Amino acid sequence: MRDRKRSAGATPWLEWAVGALGAVLFISLLGVLLANALRGPGPAPSIAARVEHIETAETGHVVQFVAVNGGGRTAAEVRFKADLVTRTGVRETREVIFDYLPPHSERRGGFIFQNDPRGGALSIEADGYVDP
């Protein structure tokens, strides 16, 4: 490339093209970042969890769930608590912590119960979080 450049005495079109591509990428990245920054900090994390499905494994019953942050800010160390009261009245509580729950994003996890949650009353709630 350099040879051609030297002999032609001008910058070859390929360099212009790649340079232009870089400029476009640069400006678009910057644009998205600044547009986001100008919007300011979004509304507080709004965290919800819903059960996806329940599986029975050898070591227990796994409740697979999705955590969704509908707010505008990232929540770190989000703690979820699951409270189960089975049909027979047995009570079990479980906890799980998600490292990060970015805004408008989903993360998946599971609770492991000894008793079958199917048919019982199961609630999953977010306890709290840390600002990253």
The single residue among 18, 44, 48, 90 that binds another protein, judged by CB under 8 A, is 18
For residue 101, give the H/E element and its range.
strand 91-101
Site string for another protein, 101-120 (x = CB under 8 A): -xxxxx--------------
Interface with another protein (CB under 8 A), residue from 54, 60, 68, 74: 74
Classified as helix, coil or strand, 41 is coil
Contacts of 47 (CB under 8 A, 6+ apart): 67, 68, 69, 70, 71, 75, 78, 101, 126, 129
Q: Is 30 in the site for another protein (CB under 8 A)?
A: yes
Residues near 40 by beta carbon (within 8 Å), at least 6 away in sequence: none
> What CA–CA distance (Å, rounded) separates 114 from 94?
11
Rank residues 100 and 109 by Cβ distance to another protein and give the closer one. 100
Among the candidate windows 30-38, 55-63, 82-90, 117-125, which touches another protein by CB under 8 A? Answer: 30-38
Closest CB to another protein among 25 and 121? 25
CB distance 103 to 60 below 8 Å: no
Residue number, 109 or 120, with CB nearest to another protein? 109
Among positions 23, 48, 121, 130, the unique one binding another protein when judged by CB under 8 A: 23
